[in-house]
Structure 1
């Protein structure tokens, strides 16, 4: 059964939504049916069984799904995850394996991970992809090696690890990793907004990853020409408020993995702005798989947005490029609007596919 839920990063939102069972109560009161906790250590830094069992029990009582994040899998940035290394008494892999064991005990079998994170620098240095001291091909090889080292534990506990289509990695690269591993315990978590940061058409990206789909992190997008005229800019929007065709997106997702949970990655006050400097030779050199046809599709989205903004039918660049200080209200509105739209699309698909919705 597909359900609708939310992704929550407790490290980011602090006490805004509550902790432990109270967090589940908050989301359930908003009509959501599940949760992805971005990192297990956010829920309990020491993996206290009492705390985790209380969370599991409340999720069961509310009939909510739980998907769990277990940190990142790029050895070049594990220093940014000291909490995982601490769980293994200095051994990062042991820390990951300890989280796997706890998740298996709790019945949380769908796990989330990513290959790096967004940095507070201008593109192309806004992700680990552009690190000159650690070339991206070296990072990809290290990621692939770490996946091999984690695979025995994933098989032992029968867990599915979904690697997100995150801002730093292309879907071409993700598909190569998953196809090379060739094991059902390794797959892909699809976020339709992020491939745009790598110059990919979200429709084509979804078609590439669909055979390997494990989970979702859903939000919509607006693409506009960058103010400097040298590329594109992506903004994040609630599902249904942007440019994606959600009937098509959900149709592909549910055909690929019937019953997949629809987890919404909410945005607080942040606009989700990501600059895509397609005219920058450094940026282009970092994308050997870049498709001119897909760039043309993205430029068409940008042109359509610019015309719609000029006609007053859609928000302008200035309307989108804002920060809302009321993080809680902004996030809740984003998730509520997304959930309502996803459910409206699912309703049209009729009762032939039972569905549920959650958040991240």
Structure 2
């Protein structure tokens, strides 16, 4: 298990409230002071909306001076949602694909070859199935996947030329089955997977089964735990620090150590809320929208929910309305638990 470095996800935009740092330079210094070993900056255009090469070079140099790994993100790759990212189209002077290409080139010039991306997003203002892009009313999910694959094929040449991997997150709208097919279709030489350990449960997947499916392609991570509770609508997933949910971290980290190319373990902390997302396993449309999901795996998630509810940890009402973790507290708890699990595995006879 040696060789892993533990870092944190950095958002410079106020996605979930004001970020705890004023810019990337401040975030890098705070990361070092916290005893962490690297960062994944969610989107490169947050660092510099104009891709100022001098500023980006200075940021990369500071990461090297501090001996921190640096990973970046380049926005979403689902053509049905590109209107939600006008800044990428602006970078391409009217072309979203060109904007993405320029982001890849800028990252490569910084020496960063592992880039985050995703295929959709969560829409908390909508309830039920329409809370994720998987169930966009105007576009069946298979059409969205086909369009995403086409865009990725068009990005593949610049990825190959620069030696960059675009790592698709196990985001809340897509399954691990679909991600593996995308990677194998476009090519694992240019695509990888960013494994978000808590998101897979939103699609009805057992986190341990999910990591086994994707492990050979995991090149980056967004690590946190999942708390699961039964609700009137089905099952709700809440975010929790590593070790405070349903995930078997010894098994998960063992899978990554044995089968994945990843060596940077990035924590995606969240402060001030638990990001409740609901599964709808009793809904016919929800079940039909998951053709790869087996009854056995969904039953396993029900079992994990029962185990969590019997554990004495915060229940539904406390997760929804109780005291919420701070960003720093969430990160510190995750890092401590990951280090404990790694140390135990390394010292095991």
Residue 189 (1) aligns with residue 194 (2):
yes
1:175 matched to which residue of 2? 180
1:6 matched to which residue of 2? 8
SS in structure 2 at match of 1:84: helix
Structure 1 spans left out of the alignment, 5+ residues: 353-360
Whole-Å Cα distance in 2 between the matches of residues 323 and 334 of structure 1? 15
The structure 2 residue matched to 1:283, chosen from 268, 282, 286, is: 286
Once the two structures are superposed, the pairs formed by residues 225-240 of structure 1 within 5 Å of their partners are: 225-226=230-231, 228=232, 230-240=233-243
> What is the Cα deviation at residue 124 of structure 1?
1.0
Residue 28 (1) aligns with residue 32 (2):
yes
Structure 2 spans left out of the alignment, 5+ residues: none
Once the two structures are superposed, the pairs formed by residues 97-116 of structure 1 within 5 Å of their partners are: 97-116=101-120
Q: Deviations over 1:273-330 (max 9, x none)?
A: 111111011211211112110111111111122223xxxx3211111113768xxx71
> What is the Cα deviation at residue 18 of structure 1?
2.1
The structure 2 residue matched to 1:78, chosen from 79, 82, 86, is: 82
2:326 matched to which residue of 1? 330
2:246 matched to which residue of 1? 243
Residue 257 (1) aligns with residue 260 (2):
yes
Whole-Å Cα distance in 2 between the matches of residues 241 and 280 of structure 1? 29
Aligned residue pairs: how many? 343
TM-score after normalising by structure 2: 0.95
Contact 1:2–1:258 at 8 Å: present in 2 too?
Answer: no
TM-score after normalising by structure 1: 0.92
SS in structure 2 at match of 1:350: helix
**Structure 1's 339 and 207: CA in aligned 2 closer, same or farther, altered over 3 A?**
same
Whole-Å Cα distance in 2 between the matches of residues 302 and 239 of structure 1? 16
The structure 2 residue matched to 1:68, chosen from 65, 69, 72, is: 72
Residue 166 (1) aligns with residue 209 (2):
no
Question: Which is bigger in relative contact order (C-alpha 8 A, separation at least 6)?
Answer: 1
Whole-Å Cα distance in 2 between the matches of residues 32 and 281 of structure 1? 45
